[in-house]
């Protein structure tokens, strides 16, 4: 287990981490998710020992690692921009950590070949990093980090510099790899879809604080506050409540708790249909304290194509809406 306790870190005036505590269970894949400047990378670098916390402790597998240099923490680190050793071949890159540890040559050769097989780079041993694509370089970097058999694998936006398609592929691949090798993994990302897709746990961060920690579904369904709710998925405001757009039910007749609304726009996005609605003001609701740039009482709902066809929605039509889902936080 990795335990981070009461960690603070500032760079000059800027407070990067404000009293952060987090526990990462053994063998899990945990994501630190947040917008840029939320402190997620700083937290990862503190776990790695590449930064020193101003106060607080880092415990890795029961040992206080706070003052231990990165060399002796038993970690593997993968950088956003690969940090490949440009003057070394793929083989020498992957072998680096083992050579530093003065392991026997034949063992190094065997292990490098095995790892390159795992990351799908067999046959690339003699290439140089500049002869590889971005995705290949990052897989080489991952093999290099795994070569020293780290107790903890730390990844700092590992797919951030890659294009969307490669990113999605590598994400799935990393998850499968993790299921095979079971090394405790911490991944930093600003992409909520990436975090949702591969993590066992997500810690959502903002302004140097951890807002909420939990399984992806838990965070999506029961966000602790509006920041977490907004960061993990789309949000619509109905009256005093923030809800998911797919938790808004549209019907053609008034019902229990339903409010009248006018359809302003229907957008077909394939399987899903986005319906823009204008709520009728009632009983002191929707008083115009909506975020700037949005119309008074306007709401975006997400329904399926099938539902849209049954409702025969037309722009300007009048419908009744009510919220159905579990997921709601006060606006």
Query: Of 77-85, 200-208, 215-223, 323-331, which segment contacts other proteins by CB under 8 A?
Result: 77-85
Interacting residues of 276 by C-beta distance below 8 A, sequence separation 6+: 263, 264, 265, 266, 267, 298, 299, 300
Nearer to other proteins, 4 or 250 (CB): 4
* CA pair distance 184, 18, nearest whole angstrom: 24
Nearer to other proteins, 72 or 287 (CB): 72
Using rule CB under 8 A, residue 124 touches other proteins: no
Using CB under 8 A, pick the residue from 54, 96, 109, 175 that binds other proteins. Answer: 96
* CA pair distance 234, 246, nearest whole angstrom: 9
* CA pair distance 277, 317, nearest whole angstrom: 10
Using CB under 8 A, pick the residue from 13, 36, 71, 179 that binds other proteins. Answer: 71
* CA pair distance 146, 1, nearest whole angstrom: 18
Using rule CB under 8 A, residue 159 touches other proteins: no
DSSP one-letter string for 26-48: TT-EEEEE--TTSSHHHHHHHHH
Using rule CB under 8 A, residue 97 touches other proteins: yes
- 30-59: contacts with other proteins (CB under 8 A): 48-50
Q: How far is the CB of 96 from other proteins (least distance, A)?
A: 5
Using CB under 8 A, pick the residue from 59, 83, 266, 331 that binds other proteins. Answer: 83
Using rule CB under 8 A, residue 87 touches other proteins: yes
Angle at 50 between CA 177 and CA 151, to 5 degrees: 35
Q: Footprint of other proteins on this chain (CB under 8 A)?
A: 48-50, 69-72, 75-77, 79, 81, 83-88, 96-97, 100-101, 128-130, 141, 144-145, 148
């Amino acid at each position: 287990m990795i335990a981070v306790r009461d960690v603070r870190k500032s760079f000059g005036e800027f407070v990067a981490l404000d009293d952060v505590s987090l526990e990462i269970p053994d063998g899990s894949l945990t994501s630190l998710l947040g917008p840029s400047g939320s402190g997620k990378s700083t937290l990862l670098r503190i776990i790695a020992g590449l930064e020193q916390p101003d106060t607080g402790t880092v415990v890795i597998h029961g040992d206080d690692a706070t003052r231990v240099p990165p060399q002796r923490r038993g970690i593997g680190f993968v950088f956003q921009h690969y940090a490949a050793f440009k003057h070394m071949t793929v083989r020498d890159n992957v072998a680096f950590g083992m050579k530093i540890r003065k392991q026997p040559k034949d063992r190094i050769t065997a292990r490098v070949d095995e790892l390159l097989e795992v990351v799908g780079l067999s046959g690339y041993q003699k290439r140089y990093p500049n002869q590889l694509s971005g995705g290949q370089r990052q897989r080489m970097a991952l093999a290099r980090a795994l070569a020293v058999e780290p107790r903890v694998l730390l990844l700092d936006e590992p797919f951030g510099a890659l294009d969307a398609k490669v990113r999605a592929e590598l994400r799935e691949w990393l998850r499968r790899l993790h299921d095979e090798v079971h090394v405790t993994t911490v991944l930093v990302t600003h992409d909520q879809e990436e975090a949702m897709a591969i993590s066992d746990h997500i810690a959502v961060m903002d302004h140097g604080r951890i807002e909420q920690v939990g399984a992806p579904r838990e965070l999506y369904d029961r966000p602790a506050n509006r920041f977490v709710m907004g960061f993990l998925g789309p949000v619509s405001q109905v009256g005093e409540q923030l809800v998911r757009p797919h938790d808004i039910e549209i019907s053609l007749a008034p019902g229990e708790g339903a409010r009248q609304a006018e359809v302003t726009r229907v957008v077909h996005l394939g399987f899903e249909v986005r319906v823009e609605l204008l709520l009728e003001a009632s009983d002191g609701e929707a008083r115009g304290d909506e975020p700037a740039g949005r119309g008074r009482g306007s709401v975006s709902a997400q329904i399926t194509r099938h539902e849209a066809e049954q409702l025969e929605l037309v722009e300007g039509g009048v419908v009744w809406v009510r919220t159905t889902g579990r997921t709601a936080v006060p606006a």
